[in-house]
Homo-oligomer: A and B are copies of this chain.
Amino acid sequence: MNIEKVNSMDFGEFVDVFGNVIERCPLIAAAVWSQRPFSDLEDLEKHFFAFIDALPQSGQEGILRCHPDLAGREQQRGTLSAESQREQSGAGLTSLGADERQQLAKLNAQYRARFGFPFVLAARLSDRAAVPGELERRLHSQPAQELRTALGEVKKIGHLRLADLLDADSSRL
Interface residues of A (CB under 8 A from B): 10-12, 15, 24-35, 51, 54-59, 61-66, 112, 116-117
Given A25-B27, A26-B24, A27-B27, also A32-B58 (CB < 8 A): yes
CB closest residue in chain B, given A69: B12
Q: Supply 12 A–B pairs (Cβ within 8 Å), ascending by A.
A: A26-B66, A27-B63, A29-B62, A30-B66, A31-B55, A31-B62, A34-B57, A34-B58, A34-B61, A35-B58, A51-B58, A51-B59
Question: Min CB distance, A24 to chain B, in Å?
Answer: 6
Question: Min CB distance, A49 to chain B, in Å?
Answer: 14
In the complex, chain B residues whose CB is within 8 Å of the CB of A116: 11, 33-34
Task: Return the contact of A59 from the options B10, B26, B27 (Cβ within 8 A).
Answer: B27
Question: Min CB distance, A121 to chain B, in Å?
Answer: 18
Question: How long is the Cα–Cα vector from A161 to B33 in the complex, in angstroms?
Answer: 27
Question: How long is the Cα–Cα vector from A11 to B61 in the complex, in angstroms?
Answer: 10
In the complex, chain B residues whose CB is within 8 Å of the CB of A59: 27, 31, 51
Question: How long is the Cα–Cα vector from A55 to B56 in the complex, in angstroms?
Answer: 9
Question: Min CB distance, A20 to chain B, in Å?
Answer: 12
Question: Min CB distance, A62 to chain B, in Å?
Answer: 3
Given A25-B27, A27-B25, A34-B116, also A15-B66 (CB < 8 A): yes
Question: Min CB distance, A78 to chain B, in Å?
Answer: 16
In the complex, chain B residues whose CB is within 8 Å of the CB of A63: 27, 30
Question: How long is the Cα–Cα vector from A104 to B25 in the complex, in angstroms?
Answer: 29
Cβ A56 vs Cβ B54 within 8 A: yes
Question: How long is the Cα–Cα vector from A44 to B64 in the complex, in angstroms?
Answer: 21
Cβ A34 vs Cβ B15 within 8 A: no
Given A54-B56, A112-B10, also A62-B30 (CB < 8 A): yes
